[in-house]
Chain A
Amino acid sequence: MRQLTRPLGLTTLVLVSVTLLLAVFGPVLWSARADSIDIDAMRQGMSAAHPFGTDYLGRDVLARTLVATRLSVLLALLATVLGAALGILLGTLPVVLGRRIGGLVVAFINLTVAFPGLLLAIFFGVVFGVGADGAVLALAVALTPNFARLTYTRAVAVAEADFVSAARLLGVPRAVVITRHVVPNIAEPLVVNFASAIGSALLSFAALSYLGFGVQPPSYDWGRLLNEGLPRIYTDPASALLPGFAIVFAGITFVLAGELTARLLTAEPPGHRAAPRETAAPGEPEPGGEHGVLRVVNLRVRFPAANPVCGASFTLHRGEILGLVGESGSGKSVTGAAIAGLVPHPGQVEAERLEFDGEPLDPARLGDRLAMVFQDPMSSLNPALRVGRQLAEVAEVHRNADRRSAMARAVDRLRAVRIRDPERRAAQYPHEFSGGMRQRAMIGMGLMGEPRLIIADEPTTALDVTVQRDILGLLREVRDTQGTAVLFVSHDIAVVRELASRVLVMYAGRIVEELPASALDTAAHPYTRALVASSPDLRTDRSLPLATIEGRAPDATEELPGCPFAPRCSYADERCHTELPAPRDLAGHRVSCWHPIGALEVRA
């Protein structure tokens, strides 16, 4: 309902009220004045008595325009109701009639949608006869295809939805499924379409009346008034412009009403606006003085409504594969994007230190020294460009290579990522590649330069296990042969364990633990422990229930004063809820927890 108090909502409400009031009371108030013939005042211009002049019988144009509101709106409404009813009927036919006859109906609907509505209305006007009744029918028929198509496409989408199948499997009768699940889920777009269809019906009706096909004298709507006034546009422009203005006014009113209905129906429940999360605990020691490929100290990413990363620090060494694990919403992908300078507007990236190759990181000057590989290899390659082209342009832009040598390099790189027949493949489009091959091409694209770092964001999540193994092998090979460091972002702890030497565990925008991959089973942070225990592997004890983590992760809009994991943690005490733990080094682990598990603390 908040939409109603916004400028759009208020304007629309006012306009709709004015239009409806005029439609209801206009004829009552001004009929007499509108119909009084004054032979002495025929075809007059603007005057005090007649602000917008008079028509050919000396009738007041203003009064006539106001009175015409009712008929204009009513006819438009009538045509829309009829058109919608016909359309909904026609649109449900294919669903009811079965495949063959239904297919014919669909083809017919698609054919008629191609015709402009106004032309349809004119030709149907021929059949139904000139006049208001004929025009209403003709316009209704012209509006039918749109409603039919909308009904049909929505009905098909909903009828194929899993929740409808589930209801059928439960033995719910077909009629009940339709009234209970299908109709309510179709109704919404139809209502929205209905509201805006009134607007276009009003405009079309005015056009028909203007052409002389619609309302006939002595009745009059706005289109008729325009028809009468237009020939005098040289002498008394006001009498032609006023009905025109009325038509535009009402048209805009109903279009806005349609827009408002759409927003009201699709409005999300009000989202809680975020108080910014606390940034990392102060006085945090800088991790290792060694000069790495990438050095990140207290990285934060802020959005107006959320802070997905609030204080991440780590170093990535040359030729190292570092795993970054977390669940959805933990901020792991945003961390990768922040390093590559790909955080979308209006996100703000801040860090105490962000160094790449020993110098402050400037995304604009990264060139081809940093490469990225994304999750979905299908959508990450441009579907409209040949694969070779997409690789070659990297060399053209960053190495000033000419077209030919760039393409030669692209073919060479495709060969390097073990794509067979690279010359032919380079000339193909991404959709001609298999999923695994696309991901190889993405990696090959990253190898067009001599990257110091590859950020791989869930690069195998969309792939089958056997393909995943190949891609992991390829990443390892790149690291071995070129000394490239890899930041491997994944939700899958088993994959990270296999590939990475060191692992960062991220939760609610913070790195809660940093540990060697081999030590995952003896993790110190309760969250890491639970994460490992809850994902079964081929050694899991089948006789015991799996470990679970109760509750849910805080989303990036929430602010918690203490440890973000405390509400779900069985070890949590008073302090955990109120005080944010700073990272501490414990026997090769670096953990942010007041109660790290195991004897680690004692040993440290």
Chain B
Amino acid sequence: MSELTVDGLTVRFGAHTAVDGVSLAVPAGSVLGLAGESGSGKSTIARAIVGMAPISSGSVRYDGTPLRTPDRRIQLVFQDPAAALDPRRSIGSSIAEGVRAKRTARRARVRELLELVHIDPARANLNPREFSGGQLQRVCLARALAAEPEFLIADEITSALDVSVQGAVLNVVREIQRETGIGILFISHNLAVLRYLADTMAVLRAGKLVEQAETETLLGAPEHEYTKQLIDAVPGQE
């Protein structure tokens, strides 16, 4: 089965080591939640996997072979949906960019993708500014799915959203995952969000991997002191 493996990944920017020897494995069809605070290197890992950050050492493999980017089988969804869509193009045409099909088939596929993320396909011709943040994030998900990827990286995709629309985005991610069996690397600083989606979880601190386990295990019986601190700090626990 196809599996995304990150082995001893190190990313340096000048003298600063953003990611320090991180190894992860995400089996096909499973969701790995990557937790960490700001500056822990979680976004850099995402960018390194898709070739947007320079890999100093270590490797990223997919299906056992080294990944050559860009690879349509792996798609990234960004934190700020407004910045991730070309402001001058309709959302439909942004999605269509990823579809490899003839014109009529492409249009049908765009409709299908919009329906999948619960956006009215009739609005495909509108520009991004006509949509709310939560809707735009779902459009971004649809665009990523247009490439029919086997693997999705979601980098803090709900952090810029209001709570009432965050739920809708998370639900869509879950539906997609269940229906298509796609593998997901879900990155967030919010443990509750990760707990809701992830099968396994990894905790990152200052570029290093601290702990990795099944979600229930990691949250229920954390081994590392830092993981315990993070869990304790989650607000709203009586």
On A, residues with C-beta under 8 Å from B are 161-163, 165-172, 180-181, 184-185, 327-328, 464-466, 468-469, 472, 491-495, 497-499, 530-531, 533-538, 540, 542, 545-549, 552-553
- Sample (9) of A-B pairs whose CB atoms are under 8 Å apart: A163-B84, A163-B86, A163-B94, A169-B72, A171-B72, A172-B98, A494-B192, A495-B235, A531-B163
CB distance from A347 to the nearest CB of B (A): 23
Closest to B40 in A: A464
Q: Once the chains are docked, how many angstroms separate the CA of A184 from the CA of B167? A: 35
When the two chains form their complex, are residues B236 and A552 in contact, meaning their CB atoms are under 8 A apart?
no
Q: Once the chains are docked, how many angstroms separate the CA of A534 from the CA of B163? A: 7
When the two chains form their complex, are residues A465 and B230 in contact, meaning their CB atoms are under 8 A apart?
yes
Q: Once the chains are docked, how many angstroms separate the CA of A380 from the CA of B83? A: 25
Task: Check: B70 CB closer than 8 A to any chain A CB.
Answer: yes
Task: Check: B6 CB closer than 8 A to any chain A CB.
Answer: no
Q: Choose among B52, B87, B98, B174 the residue that contacts A170 (Cβ–Cβ < 8 A).
A: B98
Q: Choose among A328, A464, A540 the residue that contacts B192 (Cβ–Cβ < 8 A).
A: A540
When the two chains form their complex, are residues A169 and B75 in contact, meaning their CB atoms are under 8 A apart?
yes
Q: Which among B50, B162, B171, B192 has the greatest number of chain A C-beta atoms within 10 A?
A: B162
Q: Once the chains are docked, how many angstroms separate the CA of A469 from the CA of B234? A: 8
15 more A-B residue pairs beyond the given contacts A499-B235, A530-B164, A538-B195, with a C-beta to C-beta distance below 8 A: A162-B84, A170-B98, A171-B98, A185-B88, A327-B164, A494-B235, A497-B236, A534-B166, A536-B196, A538-B234, A538-B237, A546-B168, A546-B171, A546-B196, A548-B164
CB distance from B32 to the nearest CB of A (A): 15
Query: Which residues of chain B have C-beta atoms less than 8 A from A533's C-beta?
Result: 167
CB distance from B237 to the nearest CB of A (A): 6
Q: Decide: A494 near B236, CB < 8 A? Known: A162-B84, A184-B88, A185-B88.
A: yes
CB distance from A241 to the nearest CB of B (A): 47
CB distance from A179 to the nearest CB of B (A): 12
Q: Name the interface residues of B67-101: CB closer than 8 Å to any CB of A.
A: 69-70, 72, 74-76, 78, 80, 83-89, 94, 97-98
Task: Check: B180 CB closer than 8 A to any chain A CB.
Answer: no
Secondary structure at the A interface, as helix, strand, loop or mixed, is helix
When the two chains form their complex, are residues A466 and B50 in contact, meaning their CB atoms are under 8 A apart?
no
Task: Check: B65 CB closer than 8 A to any chain A CB.
Answer: no
Which of B15-23, B102-110, B140-148, B206-214 forms part of the interface with chain A? B140-148
When the two chains form their complex, are residues A469 and B233 in contact, meaning their CB atoms are under 8 A apart?
yes
Task: Check: B37 CB closer than 8 A to any chain A CB.
Answer: yes
Q: Which among B69, B132, B196 has the greatest number of chain A C-beta atoms within 10 A?
A: B196
When the two chains form their complex, are residues A170 and B38 in contact, meaning their CB atoms are under 8 A apart?
no
CB distance from B95 to the nearest CB of A (A): 10
Q: Choose among A169, A498, A540 the residue that contacts B235 (Cβ–Cβ < 8 A).
A: A498
Task: Check: B170 CB closer than 8 A to any chain A CB.
Answer: yes
- 6 closest A-B pairs by beta carbon, nearest first, are A494-B236, A534-B167, A546-B167, A170-B98, A464-B37, A162-B84
Q: Choose among B132, B164, B171, B174 the residue that contacts A531 (Cβ–Cβ < 8 A).
A: B164
When the two chains form their complex, are residues A163 and B83 in contact, meaning their CB atoms are under 8 A apart?
yes
Task: Check: B219 CB closer than 8 A to any chain A CB.
Answer: yes
Q: Once the chains are docked, how many angstroms separate the CA of A491 from the CA of B69? A: 39
Q: Once the chains are docked, how many angstroms separate the CA of A280 from the CA of B160? A: 32
Q: Once the chains are docked, how many angstroms separate the CA of A165 from the CA of B70? A: 10
Query: Which residues of chain A have C-beta atoms less than 8 A from B94's C-beta?
Result: 163
When the two chains form their complex, are residues B195 and A161 in contact, meaning their CB atoms are under 8 A apart?
no
When the two chains form their complex, are residues B235 and A472 in contact, meaning their CB atoms are under 8 A apart?
yes
When the two chains form their complex, are residues A166 and B235 in contact, meaning their CB atoms are under 8 A apart?
no
Closest to A540 in B: B196
Task: Check: B232 CB closer than 8 A to any chain A CB.
Answer: yes
Query: Which residues of chain A have C-beta atoms less than 8 A from B163's C-beta?
Result: 327, 491-493, 531, 534-535
Closest to B140 in A: A166
Closest to B219 in A: A538
CB distance from B113 to the nearest CB of A (A): 13
Query: Which residues of chain B have C-beta atoms less than 8 A from A545's C-beta?
Result: 171, 174-175
When the two chains form their complex, are residues A465 and B234 in contact, meaning their CB atoms are under 8 A apart?
yes
Closest to A552 in B: B132
